[in-house]
Structure 1
């Protein structure tokens, strides 16, 4: 699966198979749910396509880098954080914070049905412009097979290709190696936008174009999640995004400072299984000392579950010790 460091996703950040944000150990398709203008002209950066130009590999990479990174005269961190969408990590877990659902809420149980229904209700209430999942999560929706779209008349556009200019709701698929194959261009009523690493071949981009799927090719294979979010916000007018991934992708976003809020449906159950992942994993160092969580709300909801909402911010400054 690879490691996560420095706010970059260094391998496919995946959730275990199952409903995004509500992960199961089975390969069943998730229950259907009711899901949830171009760039502002006053902004100095524009994310543009290739307009059919033929460039060598290094020239292409430099151009992509310019398209998805801040202008040099702007302070990178402050600028990018202010421009990205508002990100809510929306998850469900038992009392011990585990990611997998099947060990504590098996198929057919009253708890599983109540938990799924409540999770979906909350998802809709947020009214987000987009939701995002990793490669394994999106396998439930990417049910096509690889095919040769034939040699393109010109190189496929990079970094952007937008298949549906009228789309207002989006399903963002993190798939840096191009392992997913699509036979439709929607997932849970959101238009699919695939995030890819720079080394993805043109043949896969041509396959996505033929399937009517949008994509963004990032300048590196180690995807900078904040730069990606800024690009999505500017090009697709995404203002609020629900992060519904697995342990690695949730951890990468959290470590990068890209999560603004955590929405957790806490269920009356305990997993207790050794080795099962948590809903956040950020590596050996963790993120505890770096974060401050501020309680927004704690509301009892269906079947003994509690909906917790926390605002995420930087940690309080450590007090100085007097000499």
Structure 2
């Protein structure tokens, strides 16, 4: 099966942290602007985010499920959609409180929402997504199958180029399963020293199958001004 070309595109502090107080720095803001410009220029068909990151986007809004809905089809669901750009969210538990099938945020293109679920995700949540016009695919029974997810994104939505943009656990999960082709890191010349914030890659009890080591091949470095740099690496996959 054909899969998209996958780039993990991340903004990080010098200590590898991808969120934290350092974003208040003017140097971090400059790096963030450059990160956004690069993300746009990468011209992907879709951006993918993990559950924790999307919770922040949605201000931790909860989903309200109807436990009396009829049983829906076990097949993947492709909602009606006129957009050609996609916002992909991994939500294996089925907890994100969406309000419509389109993701809108100032400075970003409108995007049709696709949610990646597990076969074990509840019928109530699948019915909730169908009701508000959100597409979804299932990828794995009890553990996320990243290869299957990517195959379905290509087959059902013609996604040929995908950016994975955090958080650290979903970055690592796709990396661990040998599904990321390229790493693109914008480094901001800042650090806040915190130990309770996520890093670029983090193992997760929910997703990680086994401890492993991943290697990268350096491709190039671009200076972005005000101390920020862009690092590009090819991922060495098994």
TM-score norm. by structure 2 comes to 0.85
Aligned counterpart for 2:118 among listed residues 176, 181, 197: 197
Aligned partner of 2:230 in structure 1 is 307
TM-fit CA distance, 1:144: 6.2
Aligned counterpart for 1:120 among listed residues 22, 32, 36: 36
Map of 1:173-188 to 2, 5 A cutoff?
173-188=89-104
Contact map agreement 2:79 2:135 (CA 8 A) in 1: yes
TM-fit CA distance, 1:183: 0.8
Query: Which moves more between the two structures, 214-223 or 167-176?
Result: 214-223
Q: State the Cα RMSD in Å.
A: 2.2
Aligned counterpart for 1:146 among listed residues 64, 84, 96: 64
Once the two structures are superposed, residues 244-264 of structure 1 have per-residue CA deviations (whole angstroms, 9 ceiling, x without a partner) of 112211111111111100010
TM-fit CA distance, 1:287: 1.3
- Runs (4+) of structure 1 exceeding 6 A deviation are none
Map of 1:242-253 to 2, 5 A cutoff?
242-253=163-174
Contact map agreement 2:139 2:146 (CA 8 A) in 1: no
Q: Does 1:86 align with 2:2?
A: no
TM-fit CA distance, 1:218: 2.9
Change (3 A) 1:314 1:161: closer
User: Looking at CA atoms only, which structure, 1 or 2, has the larger radius of gyration?
Assistant: 1
TM-fit CA distance, 1:121: 0.8
| CA distance in structure 2 between the partners assigned to 1:151 and 1:277 by the alignment | 37
Change (3 A) 1:113 1:277: closer
Q: Does 1:158 align with 2:78?
A: no
TM-fit CA distance, 1:202: 1.9
Once the two structures are superposed, residues 36-55 of structure 1 have per-residue CA deviations (whole angstroms, 9 ceiling, x without a partner) of xxxxxxxxxxxxxxxxxxxx
- Runs of at least 5 residues in structure 1 that lack an aligned partner in the other structure: 1-79, 316-323
Once the two structures are superposed, residues 237-284 of structure 1 have per-residue CA deviations (whole angstroms, 9 ceiling, x without a partner) of 000110011221111111111110001001111343345432112478
Aligned length: 226
Aligned partner of 1:287 in structure 2 is 213
TM-score norm. by structure 1 comes to 0.64
| CA distance in structure 1 between the partners assigned to 2:212 and 2:194 by the alignment | 21
| CA distance in structure 1 between the partners assigned to 2:223 and 2:34 by the alignment | 11
| CA distance in structure 1 between the partners assigned to 2:212 and 2:167 by the alignment | 16
Contact map agreement 1:164 1:191 (CA 8 A) in 2: no
